[in-house]
Amino acid sequence: MIQVEITKQPSGRISSFTMDGHAEFAEHGKDLVCAGATAVSFGALNAILSLTDAKLDIEQGKEGGFLCCRIPDTLPAGTDEKVQLLLEGMIVSLQTIEREYSKHIKIIFH
């Protein structure tokens, strides 16, 4: 199962997210849950890096199955607003996958 842990500050600001595990929906290379979650998360990060000047702390597992991103508290307000919007879009997309494939992906908010 893929576990997505999203940490939000009391204000609602997303400060980090971590994806860990494998969906095990199908064999490697044919797992649409894994492919979808990967595309959504990397798409969001690529959008942030391409559309803003935010410097994120990103960590990936060498063999796949792990992605962690921490968003600095020191981003200028306008940049942080864009980053937050893109991350909220990522969450909506991941929740859509979770609704359909809840045995293979779980989102947890902290």
Active site residue 28: no
Write out the chain in H/E/C secondary structure. Answer: CEEEEEEECCCCCEEEEEEECCCCCCCCCCCHHHHHHHHHHHHHHHHHHHHCCCCCEEEECCCCCEEEEECCCCCCHHHHHHHHHHHHHHHHHHHHHHHHCCCCEEEEEC
Annotated catalytic residue, options 22, 68, 104, 110: 22
Active site residue 104: no
Annotated catalytic residue, options 34, 69, 104, 110: 34
**Positions marked catalytic:** 22, 34
